Amino acid sequence: MKRSGRLLSALLLVIVLMFTAILPACSGKNNEEAQSGSTPAPGTEGMSTPGASEAPSEEKHDPVTLKLITWNNTYQELYDKFHAKYPWITVEADLVSGADIDNTIVERIAALESAGTPADLAWLVDFTPFLKGGLLEDLKPYMDRDESLKNVKLPEGFFESMEIGGKRYAIPFVDVPMWVLVNKDLLDKYGLEMPPNDWTYDDFRRMAKAATDPVAGEYGLTNNSLFAGHFTTAMAVANGSAPNLAYMNEDLTQSILNSPAVLADIKWMQELMTKDGSLPGYKKSAELGGSVDKFINGKTLFDIGGDWVLEPLSNEAKFQWDVLPFPRGKVKQSTYHIYGPIALLAGSKYKDAAYKWISFQFEMEAQKWKIDHGANASVISDELIAYIDQSPLWQGKNTSAVKLTKDMGSIAPGPTIPAFSEYMWWQPWVSETILDGKDPSSVIPLVEAWNKKTLQLRDEVSK
């Protein structure tokens, strides 16, 4: 019996020593994965796969907090969904604001790095300020070994749209379409019917004029600068006046905002104020105390907007409303889309964890969340198309229009165009022309100066 007891004690001692040797090794591996700021070379043996489709490991992970620099504070619910899948990773929004948003983000990146707490992810508008400082990580190696993306169907050229020189510095994490918003109560009041989804710009103009009654303080169009900044540029594409949004040429190297065809489209929109009176303009709006500046006030038949206005309308509007795609032009029908670029920052200490957030954007859970909040699903899937009819946001609405806008769109350019953020002056300029009667020809020297600058910067970036 004593001998058996000694053997048992020895055996237990061996087992304890084995676990004592194994546990530190596992712990060290976890710490390295959670804290390392380096990216293993593709094909490295033993590397962790960054794809967000991985099931959370049963192994212990040190907690990671990712700093995402953004100007939007409406994504907390999606951050929480991501955290539920990866309990050791928390996404923390670092909010910034300002007119020169990209340079503000660059300054924020520098400040956080100086403090020893570098940011991990950032939303972008224009790549130019980030490329000069080498601030962006190339996402292509991560995505090439991301098994979760290999079975995801996306629009042709979706990821490639944000490549420069073979490097993928960002990806579109959201597709925000825009619609014409319709006040159905005013349709009824003025004896108008909800038009079909293939309506035309002439239909749009006729209906706006028919629903204008200055005595009642009601107008066909909301006095929204987005009619100038977004609607008119989509009309130029639909009419064949410009091949791309933002009045850009075919290869996105020059603005053609000063071309006769584009200026004719802008003049057409200006006449909605100067001739028809259906667009109030700045002066009339001031006289009315701003009542026609917001669609939710119920004083206007049409407005345009995207995901940022849909939930407030659902919760607060005291009238029936619906959506339509932008009208059909002389050549085609095109609705304005905004791709939101997100980048992984080169200074991140947690690159694998940060990439998991990027990959998570293309999983069904995240895609459905975006539909519920007014965005398109980027992923091409029958399940996601069917989900539009189930989404609480779209109950009782023109869901056929919502489905059409996924493929009936022009994508707003920008990130890969040098000095594009400086070109954003075109939006206030068009607004002043349409809403304040500014002379359209005043744009010519502005376009010429910017065209020269963007070509110079393009040469510098390519060197």
Segment 397-407, tens digit of pLDDT: 999 999 998 88
Domains of the chain: total:
2
Please tell me whether residues 73 and 199 are part of one structural domain. no
CATH number of domain containing 164: 3.40.190.10
Sort strands 121-123 and 163-164 into parallel, antiparallel or unpaired: unpaired
- pLDDT tens digits along 283-298: 999 999 999 999 999 9
Residue 188 maps to a domain: yes
- pLDDT tens digits along 164-189: 888 999 999 999 999 999 999 999 99
Whole-number pLDDT of residue 433: 94
Taking 70 as the pLDDT cut, the residues of the chain under it are 1-59, 461-463
Task: Choose the final residue of a domain: 388, 423, 449.
Answer: 388
Please tell me whether residues 191 and 162 are part of one structural domain. no
Percent of the chain topping pLDDT 90: 71
- pLDDT tens digits along 131-157: 888 999 999 999 999 999 988 999 888
Residue 456 maps to a domain: yes
Whole-number pLDDT of residue 35: 37
Please tell me whether residues 200 and 156 are part of one structural domain. no
Which residues form the domain of 158?
Answer: 64-176+340-388
- Residues in the chain, total: 463
Residue 52 maps to a domain: no
Please tell me whether residues 145 and 282 are part of one structural domain. no
Whole-number pLDDT of residue 10: 37
- φ, ψ for residue 194, nearest 5 deg: -60, 120
Please tell me whether residues 172 and 280 are part of one structural domain. no
Please tell me whether residues 441 and 309 are part of one structural domain. yes
- CA count, 13 A, side-chain hemisphere, 147: 5
Residue 370 maps to a domain: yes
Residue 18 maps to a domain: no
Label residues 365-404 b or e (16+ Cβ within 10 Å = b): ebbbbbbbbbbbbbbeeeebeebbeebebbeebbbebbbb
Please tell me whether residues 162 and 181 are part of one structural domain. no
Listed in sequence order, the residues at least 6 apart from 251 whose beta carbon sits closer than 8 Å to its beta carbon are none
Please tell me whether residues 300 and 435 are part of one structural domain. yes
Residue 334 maps to a domain: yes
Please tell me whether residues 262 and 411 are part of one structural domain. yes
**59 three-state secondary structure:** coil
Please tell me whether residues 205 and 269 are part of one structural domain. yes
Residue 222 maps to a domain: yes
The C-alpha atoms of residue 145 and residue 140 are separated, in whole angstroms, by 9
> Which residues is 302 bridged to in the sheet?
182, 221
pTM summary value: 0.81
* Nearest residue to 245 (alpha-carbon basis) of 319, 310, 131, 334: 334
Please tell me whether residues 233 and 349 are part of one structural domain. no
Please tell me whether residues 322 and 376 are part of one structural domain. no
Residue 7 maps to a domain: no
- pLDDT tens digits along 413-425: 878 888 888 898 9
